[in-house]
Structure 1
Amino acid sequence: MKMNVYITTGTFEYLKGIEMTYPSESMATMVNQDGALLLHETSKTSVFKEPRKYEILESSGLIGKEGFAVINNIPITEESVPLFEHQFKDLPSLLEKEKGFIAIRVLRPLSSNTYIILTIWESAITFENRKTLLDSEIKKAYENVKHSHIFTSAPYVSKYTIVTPQ
């Protein structure tokens, strides 16, 4: 069964309200200093009106109601897609053994060119302790892609805390 991830942004209160309205859905509200986002993982259509849409290529673990989320946003050229996807297929199995690791999703964009590597950790400290490994694996995957112009723009990282709705 094909699983998708849908992401929307808004105020924390608004997004928390959506999550609480659909308690049987797999959703996680995340916040950082810049705002909030709500992630919806499902094999069905999202309840969001205008989400960013992704197909799950690789995954491990469950996204729960707590943790520290690290989102690597990687805009890829069309001709680099097959090789890029191939390079990241083993990342979940590498991270599964790491202390403090909770979940990973390698996400293919359905309405843009920006892939997402989402990792969930027990805490920001746990992530920082494993950051060198994650950075080296992602860097190795980048280096293995032989195209000189793999990116359409600079990749960037966003970090969030997953917040349990009250």
Structure 2
Amino acid sequence: MNIHLTSGTFDFLFKMKKKHLAESMILMQNIDNAVLLHETTKSSVFNTPRSFQVLDSFGPLENRGYVVMNNIPVTEEERPLFEYRLKNIKNLFQNLKGFLAIRILQPLKSDTYIVLTLWQNEKAYMDWEHSASYDMFMNEVEMNLSFKTAQLLIGSSYITKYFIPEEK
């Protein structure tokens, strides 16, 4: 399974999504931009996508909710170690209230991995972010990813958050 992402204006991406109704696509936006996600076993319908292989997943990506993407740039030589450390991360999410799905995404043409999580809404994510479970998760991530951090990461990781607007 692959995921392809493209960015643009909401209106343009909305038209693109409507043009490909048979495809599994999710349109999301935040204050800065809009992103169209295409999950497929086939090639992308986008002209110049950011493409990823799904390494691990849990739950279906639904066309509703709140998406959080942890973007983590990793050096080429450290990819196997990084992927090994991410192997069971989905288990930390599966029983969380408001959690819907996760995708661990390996970049096909870049160096930035994405851990994509889908939540029922922003409140569900924020409730988790302010919980003891989140603290345990962050400790687990820190323990797993901090070893050899200087060699493992190319730059700083960052988070992007998006709303999936209701379709009318």
TM range (shorter): over 0.9
1:71-98, Cα deviation, whole Å (9 max, x unpaired): 0110001121111101111011221111
Aligned ranges for residues 87-166 of structure 1 at < 5 Å? Answer: 87-131=85-129, 132-133=134-135, 134-143=137-146, 145-166=147-168
- Superposition map of 1:1-166 within 5 A: 3-131=1-129, 132-133=134-135, 134-143=137-146, 145-166=147-168
Q: TM-score, normalised by structure 2?
A: 0.91
Q: Matched residues in 1 for 2:123 and 2:140: separation? A: 19
Structure 1 CA distance for aligned equivalents of residues 71 and 153 of structure 2: 11
Moved more, 117-126 or 133-142: 133-142
Asked if 2 retains the 8 angstrom alpha-carbon contact of 1:4 and 1:56, the reply is: yes
Shift of the 161–135 alpha-carbon distance from structure 1 to 2, 3 Å rule, reads farther
> 1:86-141, CA deviations, whole angstroms, 9 ceiling, x for partnerless residues?
11110112211111011100000001000000000011111112122543443232
The letter for the 2-side match of 1:142 is L
Shift of 1:150: 1.3
Q: CA RMSD in A?
A: 1.4
Tell me, which stretches of 5 or more residues in structure 2 are unaligned? none
What CA distance in whole angstroms lies between the structure 1 residues aligned with 2:140 and 2:66? 19
Return 15-24 or 154-163, whichever deviates more: 15-24
CA drift at 1:25: 1.0
Query: 2:87 aligns to what SS in structure 1?
Result: coil
- Corresponding pairs, count: 163
Pair 1:136–1:163, CA change in 2 (3 A): farther
Q: Distance in 2 between matches of 1:140 and 1:71?
A: 20
